[in-house]
Amino acid sequence: MSTDKRKPHKHKPWAGRFLEQTDAFVEKFTASVGFDWLLYPYDIEGSRAHARTLARAGVITEAECEQLLAGLNEILREIERGEFTWETALEDVHMNIEARLIERLGEVGKKLHTGRSRNDQVATDLRLYLRAEIDVIQQAIRGLQTVLLDLASQHADTIMPGFTHLQVAQPVTFGHHLMAWVEMLERDHARLADCRARVNIMPLGSAALAGTSYRLDRRYTAELLGFERWSNNSLDAVSDRDFAIEFCAAGALIMMHLSRMAEELILWNCPRFRFVELPDRFCTGSSIMPQKKNPDVPELVRGKTGRVHGHLVALLTVMKAQPLAYNRDNQEDKEPIFDTVDTVKDCLRAFTDMLPAIRVNKAAMRAAADEGYSTATDLADYLVRKGVAFRDAHEIVGRAVKLAIEQEKPLGELPLEVLRKLSSRIEQDVFAVLTPEGSVDARNLPGGAAPAQVRAQIDSARRCTR
């Protein structure tokens, strides 16, 4: 992109009341075209709808409208072919496109900006952009969920330890664990849907801040652009970026969830755990240690969470304490929004591509589930079923665990006579509940770890993620 072809003063559409040229540094300092150029498809779409609205109101003729539409289409093609020259002197995407339109069409081109300001224009562009990107991100979430559901159905019975405080707590299945991730993503998807409804509102007609004196049919413009409705207050419509902050909050939560998944993948992949092995093509080596295979992709997802969380704080702070209506502060909204969109999409894609290729080490998971007296709660529950009150059962099992630690054995390998000394209610059938399989099978209620329940969760998730 070339941006620095300096043009004389008269090129600036607002130059009329100025006596001297813009300071060269200020020109660069205030320009946004270096990043907001990527709004061009939405800027042109918005301009096309505005031109048609002007024609409908009789502000321009149908013939003029046709010329404007054709000119805008030509510019769209120029940009897409890489033939468009973006100029810093023209500040932003809006003035670059308008200046080119005037260059191409002459007098007619000068009529497009009637009844409009860059203030309602940029708010419209951003909303159109975010609406489109929300749809893409929602699709990407569905894609990752599908991969997780496939993996979960292969591993609905694969025993693994569940952790609390990163210590083995109770057995679960790998499928159950993956379904927890599916649930997190489901809420992320719903949050985006919620946010989309507040993004999908049209500012055009608000003009600079007070509305316009032309009788523009806002319903018609909104319809052309696929907006659900139009804004109720012009001051609010040109100034607030809460819809973008909300989007960044939804993005921050997606990244928070992805960072948790990343962290677990890194742990599981490390040689101490060996629960999974990440595919070589998603890892990199060390420049000095030849033996290393590093989990860079999940580490980067975890790391990139930082910048997205930062963008949320940046946007909140840009908006904080701004008086009505539009202030140039809001130009600072774009880079955080764009980077949030790009980062969230990339990270979702990284996991969607990587997860189907992981190797699952069932034996290591099963062995780990045997450690840490993970079925101690099952022994207590067993005693409760035999008529012991839970608090007493807890005490008895505590003593059993102490014995097992002393004898360096898992609970299920303590002889029956030893267990019966702790409680005479314990019988031969106790050993079935002390296995990880018995433990997960027993958790057979909705939301529980039993394979039958996990399969039911997978089926119902498949229905709603379709």
Q: Applying CB under 6 A, which residues contact ligand ARG?
A: 32, 36, 92, 118-119, 122, 326, 328, 330-331
Least Cα distance to 85 among 106, 69, 100, 74 occurs for 100
Dig out the tokens for 51 from the structure. Answer: 């031109």
Q: What is the distance, to the nearest Å, from the Cα of residue 202 to the centroid of all Cα atoms in its chain?
A: 24
Residues 6 or more apart in contact with residue 385 via CB below 8 angstroms: none
Give the residue with the Cβ less far from ligand ARG, 93 or 397: 93
Give the residue with the Cβ less far from ligand ARG, 28 or 219: 28
Dig out the tokens for 398 from the structure. Answer: 């505590």
Residues 6 or more apart in contact with residue 297 via CB below 8 angstroms: 278, 282, 283, 350, 354
Three-state SS for 136?
helix
286 is a catalytic site residue: yes
Three-state SS for 294?
strand
Which phi and psi (to 5°) does residue 359 adopt?
Answer: -95, 130
Q: What span, in angstroms and rounded, lies between the C-alpha atoms of 249 and 252?
A: 5
Pick the catalytic residue: 94, 113, 153, 165?
165
DSSP state of 164: E
Alpha-helical segments (H) within 113-241: 118-154, 174-199, 218-225, 234-239
Least Cα distance to 113 among 126, 127, 97 occurs for 97
Give the residue with the Cβ less far from ligand ARG, 12 or 309: 12
* Contact (CB, 8 A) for 158 and 362: yes
Instruction: Find the shortest distance in angstroms from Cβ 60 to ligand ARG.
Output: 23
Pick the catalytic residue: 177, 206, 213, 286?
286
Instruction: Find the shortest distance in angstroms from Cβ 118 to ligand ARG.
Output: 4
Instruction: Find the shortest distance in angstroms from Cβ 163 to ligand ARG.
Output: 47
Instruction: Find the shortest distance in angstroms from Cβ 66 to ligand ARG.
Output: 28
* Reduced DSSP (H G I as helix, E B as strand, rest coil) percent helix, strand, coil of the chain, to 5: 65, 5, 30
177 is a catalytic site residue: no
Cis amide prior to 325 (ω within 30 degrees): yes
Give the residue with the Cβ less far from ligand ARG, 33 or 434: 33
Instruction: Find the shortest distance in angstroms from Cβ 149 to ligand ARG.
Output: 41
Instruction: Find the shortest distance in angstroms from Cβ 36 to ligand ARG.
Output: 6
Residue 219, amino acid: R
Three-state SS for 368?
helix
Give the residue with the Cβ less far from ligand ARG, 328 or 466: 328
Q: What span, in angstroms and rounded, lies between the C-alpha atoms of 231 and 127?
A: 12
Give the residue with the Cβ less far from ligand ARG, 71 or 203: 203
Give the residue with the Cβ less far from ligand ARG, 95 or 253: 95
Give the residue with the Cβ less far from ligand ARG, 64 or 92: 92
Three-state SS for 394?
helix
Beta bridge partners of 359: 277
164: left (phi over 0), alpha (psi -120 to 50) or beta: beta
Instruction: Find the shortest distance in angstroms from Cβ 30 to ligand ARG.
Output: 8
* Contact (CB, 8 A) for 456 and 149: no
Q: What span, in angstroms and rounded, lies between the C-alpha atoms of 261 and 147?
A: 14
DSSP state of 464: H
Give the residue with the Cβ less far from ligand ARG, 122 or 147: 122
Least Cα distance to 439 among 175, 169, 181, 177 occurs for 169
Instruction: Find the shortest distance in angstroms from Cβ 206 to ligand ARG.
Output: 12
Instruction: Find the shortest distance in angstroms from Cβ 115 to ligand ARG.
Output: 16
Dig out the tokens for 409 from the structure. Answer: 């054995």
Active site residues: 165, 286
